[in-house]
Structure 1
Amino acid sequence: MNVRPEMFPAEILLKIFSYCSHDDLVRRIPFVCRWWQEVWKHRTLWRCNVYRPNFDRRRVKNILKLSPQLHAIDLSTCNLNVSVVETMVQCCQDIQQLCIPIYTFLDYVRSKDTPIFSNIKVLILTQEERSGNALKYLADNLPSGITLKYLADNLPNLEHLELLSHYCSKADLTYFLERKKHKLRTLALRCLTTDGYCVIPLLLVCTNLNTLSLRNFCDKVSDGHLEGGLQLRNISSLALLYFGSLPEFSYFPNVVELQLHYYTVAHGDSFRSFAINFPLLRKLSFDRSPSLDDSSLGNLHYFQKLTSVSIVSNRITDRGMQQLESVPGLTYLDLYNCSKLTVECLKLICNFRNLQVLKFDLWYLRKTRIDLKVSDIKNRGLHLMFYRCRDVTKFDYLREQNIRVTILDDKRKALGCSKLL
Structure 2
Amino acid sequence: MESSKSIEDLPNDVLVEILSYVSFNDLIHSVQHVCTRWREVSGDIMLWRNRVYSPAYGESDVNIAGVLEQTPKLRTLIINERGVRSMVLRALAQHCPHLRKLIFFEHQRLSVKFLKVLVSKCPNIESLSIPHMESSNLTKMKVIGRFSNLKDVCLGGWADREKPVVLKPLADGCPSLQRLDLKGKMVMYDDFAYFLLKKKDQLESLDIKWGSADWKCLIPPLTLCTRLRKLLIIDYSHLNIEAGFQALGSLHFITSLTLNYVNDADINCVTSVFKKNGLKQLEELRIIGYDSYDDRLADVIVKNCSKLKLLFLKDCFNLSDQSVKNFHLLHHLESVNLSSAGITDAGVASLTKCTKLKYLSLKHCGFLTETSMKLMIEFSNLRILKLDSCNIKGLPINLFSSHLPCLTLFSINFCRNIDQEALALLKTKKPQLVVYDYFDAYDSGEEDYDDEPIVGVDPVDEEPMAEAQQMYIEGQVVIIEAVEPVADEANSIEDEDLELLLGVESLFDIGVEKEVWKH
Distance 1:368 1:31, change over 3 A: farther
Shift of 1:159: 0.9
Q: 2:317, 2:342 within 8 Å by CA — same for their partners in 1? A: no
Aligned to 1:212: 231
Partners of 1:16 and 1:37 lie apart in 2 by: 15
SS state at 1:16 partner: coil
Shift of 1:201: 2.9
1:6-155 pair list within 5 angstroms: 9-17=15-23, 20=24, 30=32, 33-34=35-36, 35-42=38-45, 45-47=48-50, 49=52, 50-53=76-79, 54-55=81-82, 56-58=84-86, 60-65=88-93, 66-77=95-106, 79-82=108-111, 85-86=115-116, 88-103=118-133, 107=136, 109-110=138-139, 114=143, 115-128=145-158, 130=159, 135=160, 139=163, 144=164, 146=166, 148-155=167-174
Work out the percentage of aligned pairs sharing the same amino acid.
19
Q: 1:172 aligns with which of 183, 186, 191?
A: 191
Partners of 2:226 and 2:450 lie apart in 1 by: 29
Shift of 1:174: 2.0
Aligned to 1:385: 409
Partners of 1:387 and 1:37 lie apart in 2 by: 44
Q: 1:356 aligns with which of 372, 375, 381?
A: 381
Of 338-347 and 165-174, the range deviating more from structure 2: 338-347
Letter in 2 for 1:119: N
Unaligned runs of 5+ in 2: 53-75, 415-419, 437-443, 455-470, 475-519
Matched residue pairs, number? 398
TM-score (normalised: structure 1)? 0.76
Shift of 1:327: 3.4
Partners of 1:416 and 1:151 lie apart in 2 by: 30
Aligned to 1:372: 397
Letter in 1 for 2:169: Y
TM-score (normalised: structure 2)? 0.63
Shift of 1:342: 7.4
SS state at 1:98 partner: strand
Letter in 2 for 1:397: T
RMSD: 4.2
Shift of 1:393: 7.4
Partners of 1:230 and 1:165 lie apart in 2 by: 22
Q: Which has the larger radius of gyration?
A: 2
Larger relative contact order (Cα-Cα within 8 Å, sequence gap ≥ 6): 2
Q: 2:181 aligns with which of 147, 162, 171?
A: 162
Superposed CA deviations along residues 46-104 of structure 1, whole A, max 9, x for unmatched, are 45534222243245325514322221122144533326545543432221111222337
Letter in 1 for 2:190: A
1:298 aligns with 2:325: yes
Superposed CA deviations along residues 352-375 of structure 1, whole A, max 9, x for unmatched, are 3xx41242236648998976213x
Letter in 2 for 1:288: D
Partners of 1:270 and 1:188 lie apart in 2 by: 23
1:267 aligns with 2:294: yes
Partners of 1:366 and 1:63 lie apart in 2 by: 51
Partners of 1:318 and 1:5 lie apart in 2 by: 64
Unaligned runs of 5+ in 1: none
Partners of 1:52 and 1:155 lie apart in 2 by: 22
Of 363-372 and 282-291, the range deviating more from structure 2: 363-372
Q: 2:107, 2:157 within 8 Å by CA — same for their partners in 1? A: no
Superposed CA deviations along residues 157-194 of structure 1, whole A, max 9, x for unmatched, are 11111124122233212211122111111122122333
Partners of 2:403 and 2:428 lie apart in 1 by: 16
Letter in 2 for 1:213: L
Q: 1:213, 1:238 within 8 Å by CA — same for their partners in 2? A: yes
Q: 2:205, 2:230 within 8 Å by CA — same for their partners in 1? A: yes
Shift of 1:121: 0.9
Partners of 1:86 and 1:29 lie apart in 2 by: 34
Partners of 1:221 and 1:332 lie apart in 2 by: 39
Q: 1:186 aligns with which of 205, 224, 245?
A: 205
1:335 aligns with 2:368: no
Partners of 1:164 and 1:126 lie apart in 2 by: 6
Aligned to 2:308: 281
